[in-house]
Chain A
């Protein structure tokens, strides 16, 4: 089974959609923002129809979020095509915030729209699923935490009740039983609930119930200055600290029209690729461990530990938290340390090049991983899954190659892609991404521009907004930022790529046996914290 050689990015054109919508009188053009190819304003009643037309053109749905600007609630949605990103904007009156759902057109919009309902009270008509998503019992049905008048500390003083009445659909039939798992899980892992319905060992249906680690990140971001925002962004998901921090900083820099020095951009990419490698090393080991192949776990955790120690020695933090700042980076390298890093990279490459084939060819390991948890390419496309999960199912979108931001616009980015979409291919894609990232590190370190590593980000005196779009290690990572005239946060929306991969986990469990659930879950490795906010 060989690698897909042909580069296939999401097919449709956002410019074509814009022409169609404008010609039909459904949208009007808005001035573009940095990082966005097209920006359109729509009436709320045309929102769902715009989604249908986008789906027909083959665009990928990426995100939706709200922004309360009394007396209106703004709603923004992001889509992607072969010619870049499209931002759709509309505004709803806060007393009757009704909007037609885009979920019938794009499965990926399902939970993000429900989250908007929970946090803003936006009412999506024609949404197939009326249930709450992020709201458990910490706030009432008629309370909306992200509305401006809702207090940051909330309205509740007493202890929060457990969420016992979330209505999971039941499956009836001879021999069907239910297995509830979580929120507290057996191992060292974040909390979430999985409701299985099974016959014998075979999973008929699995449904996720997330939101257990919802910490109110969007609410507590309000009023922060930029350096406080960067700290918060770096903790949306601890394993994606660089990705989220870069997206937030990029959004701020685009909003304030700041030119980040080229050396800082190159160092950001070094940090981002190091983060990608660290996570892929850990994941490959853990996936193999979940099917009892301890050798891979021991070797991969060894390599990951060495990698993290190098992070500490070179950059001062094992997980690279707080290494990015608005306007640049907080770290720098000199020629001696670059030489050391290049040697460590060469050593890591030798190790991976030896270990990967061992894993990919080991029969009893591959017997567990091949044909397990298959996500067919058409479903990956329907759910708009980005990152390594998408690439194992031939959804190849990679912002570093297909919508590059500096320094990737001057680099050669290899993007592995396969069609089989099983756990084995999700391992293989990670392994090849490690090698591709090691190459990128070489390119970056050998061509590191001279100059400063940080620039000031003064406020402009007027309200500004910006969008950050980064290819994090899990996939497309978004940050929307609106700042007031003094540079303080009015609205921060981080969209972790896990929003797009969690639904895919439910889909790929078709015909999987219950004991294979941990390895399938690990092969997707969605972030709970990044998702729940």
Chain B
């Protein structure tokens, strides 16, 4: 236990001691926070659905919760139930086997709601496109408010995308 406390003490607070490039995260985040407060009260609840991704986008989404990006300090958090969500974040093309599950998740989110298609696959079909097994881009299946290109988008780009969307809507 003492070794753990010692390790924590020596690690320090990473979210403050950021190199120059990462101060962008703090600015974005602060803007994000103002937008979220204006439209959604004090927090943005995100329900994510992988409709057919390769899992690359999920890895970068996970990174949003690490000490460097620490997305929760901006009032943005991921929720388990679509009933609790404000924003539906979709990755991947929509595989035909996930078509109905995605639609039901979308319908279950109460208004006001936003949909972000994360990554090239979700945005425009990416590497997989439309086929016997895939519906292609998310917009082919449910209404989409913003597309975030990238393969995968970086955690920073993900934050930027959410901010742009909130400023527009």
Contact = CB atoms under 8 A, between A and B. Distances in A.
Contact of B128 (A211, A216, A362): A216
A67 to B, nearest CB: 18
21 contacts: A152-B131, A154-B133, A184-B105, A186-B80, A187-B80, A188-B62, A191-B51, A213-B52, A213-B97, A215-B128, A219-B132, A219-B133, A301-B66, A301-B67, A304-B63, A304-B66, A318-B154, A319-B59, A321-B56, A321-B151, A358-B4
Contacts of B145: none
Interface string A268-312: 000000000000001000000000000100110110110010000
A236 B54 contact: yes
A188 B78 contact: yes
Given A239-B55, A298-B67, A358 B3 contact: yes
B83 to A, nearest CB: 13
A219 B154 CA distance: 29
Given A162-B101, A184-B105, A239-B55, A215 B49 contact: no
B8 A295 contact: yes
B161 interface: no
A216 B97 CA distance: 11
Contacts of B8: 295
B164 interface: no
Contacts of A517: none
B75 interface: no
B72 to A, nearest CB: 12
Given A163-B97, A355-B7, A216 B134 contact: yes
B55 A302 contact: no
Contacts of B101: 162, 183-184, 191, 212
B53 interface: yes
Contacts of A161: 100
Contacts of B105: 184
Interface string B1-21: 001100110010010000000
B78 A212 contact: no
A510 B11 CA distance: 39
A145 interface: yes
A528 interface: yes
Interface of A: 136-139, 145, 150-156, 159-163, 183-184, 186-191, 211-217, 219-220, 231-232, 235-239, 241, 282, 295, 298-299, 301-302, 304-305, 308, 318-319, 321, 354-355, 358, 362, 527-529, 532
Interface string B119-139: 000000011111111100000
Given A191-B98, A213-B92, A220-B129, 16 more contacts: A139-B132, A150-B132, A151-B132, A188-B58, A190-B50, A212-B97, A215-B93, A219-B133, A220-B128, A238-B58, A238-B59, A241-B56, A302-B66, A362-B4, A527-B55, A528-B55
B114 interface: no
Nearest to A212: B97
B126 to A, nearest CB: 8
Contacts of A156: 96, 132
B65 interface: yes
Contact of B95 (A145, A214, A319): A214
A213 B4 contact: no
Given A220-B128, A301-B67, A136 B55 contact: no
Interface in B102-117: 105
A409 B51 CA distance: 40
Nearest to A235: B54
B45 interface: no
B56 A238 contact: yes
A304 B63 CA distance: 9
B129 to A, nearest CB: 7
Interface string B149-167: 0011010000000000000
A115 B129 CA distance: 22
Contacts of B128: 215-217, 220, 235
Contact of B7 (A190, A318, A358): A358
A109 B105 CA distance: 35
B108 to A, nearest CB: 10
B131 A154 contact: yes
A305 B68 contact: yes
A239 B65 CA distance: 18
Contacts of B50: 189-191, 213
B99 interface: yes
A241 B60 CA distance: 14
B94 to A, nearest CB: 10
B95 A159 contact: no
